[in-house]
Amino acid sequence: LFSLTKKKRVKGQKQYFLKTIFYNYGKNAILSLRTFKYYFLIIVFFLFGLLLDFYASFFFLFNHPFFLLHFTVTIFCIFYFFFIKI
């Protein structure tokens, strides 16, 4: 950030200066979002599935097929992301 602020401000190129800052920050944000997206999806899927599991368990007492499916998928996702990706 400090090296970016020292960039060619002598000639009065404020437009160029702002453009480079937004381009660099945009590139970094897109790259970080691309990796963060999968973790966010897994966290959301896990939490939403847990809610549905508790909802289903009150009526079916853990014999509901969706509960078993979600349980296996979440375990697979956690295993895949924490043991294979890292």
What token pair was written down for 73?
Answer: 């998928």
Q: What is the pLDDT of residue 72?
A: 76
Q: What is the pLDDT of residue 3?
A: 53
Which stretches in the chain have pLDDT values below 50?
Answer: 1, 86
Q: What is the pLDDT of residue 31?
A: 58
Encode burial over 12-50: b for 16+ CB neighbours within 10 A, e otherwise: eeeeebeeeeeeeeeeeeeeeeeeeeeeeebeeeeeebe
Q: What is the pLDDT of residue 36?
A: 65
User: pTM for the full model?
Assistant: 0.31
Where are the domains positioned within the chain? 2-85
